[in-house]
Amino acid sequence: MTNSIITERLSTQVQMAVGTADGFACSYKRCGGNLFLVCFYNKKTPNVDPAAPKDLYTTTGGNCGDCPEDPNNKPNKVACIAFLCQYPLQAAKIDLKMCGKDPCPGTFSDEFRVTALNMHNYYRRLAATGWAKTGDKYAKTASKMVELQYDKDLETKANAWVTAANCPTAAEGGPAGENFFKTTKFNTPHIEAFKEAMKSWWTPFEKSGFGNEPTYTDAIENGRI
Q: What is the rounded average pLDDT of the residues 190-211?
A: 80
pLDDT in tens, 62-99: 567 778 888 878 888 888 876 677 777 766 555 667 78
**What pLDDT is attached to residue 49?**
65
Q: How many whole angstroms separate alpha carbon 123 and alpha carbon 12?
A: 42
Question: 128 in the Ramachandran plot: left (φ > 0), alpha (ψ -120 to 50) or beta?
Answer: alpha
- Is the pTM above the cut of 0.85? no
Q: What is the rounded average pLDDT of the residues 32-44?
A: 75
Asked whether residue 1 carries a pLDDT value surpassing 80, the answer given is no
pLDDT higher at 135 or 153: 153
Residue 3 confidence class, pLDDT cut points 50, 70, 90: very low
Q: How many whole angstroms separate alpha carbon 167 and alpha carbon 183?
A: 12
**What pLDDT is attached to residue 25?**
76
List of residues 6+ apart from 141 with CB closer than 8 A: 128, 129, 130
Helices (H), ranges, the chain: 10-14, 110-128, 152-162, 190-207, 218-221
Residue 174 confidence class, pLDDT cut points 50, 70, 90: low
Q: What are φ and ψ of residue 84, in 5° steps? A: -110, 120
Look at residue 159 and give its three-state secondary structure: helix
**What pLDDT is attached to residue 8?**
43
Q: What are φ and ψ of residue 34, in 5° steps? A: -115, 155
Q: Which amino acid is at 202?
A: W
Q: How many whole angstroms separate alpha carbon 212 and alpha carbon 189?
A: 38
CATH T-level fold of 110-221: Pathogenesis-related Protein p14a (3.40.33)
Find the helix or strand (DSSP H, E) in which 94 lies.
none
Asked whether residue 225 carries a pLDDT value surpassing 70, the answer given is no
**What pLDDT is attached to residue 36?**
75
**What pLDDT is attached to residue 30?**
72
Residue 9 confidence class, pLDDT cut points 50, 70, 90: very low
**What pLDDT is attached to residue 175?**
47
Q: How many whole angstroms separate alpha carbon 215 and alpha carbon 208?
A: 13
Asked whether residue 195 carries a pLDDT value surpassing 70, the answer given is yes
Q: Are 77 and 69 in contact (CB under 8 A)?
A: yes
Domain extent listing, the chain: 1-59, 61-90, 110-221
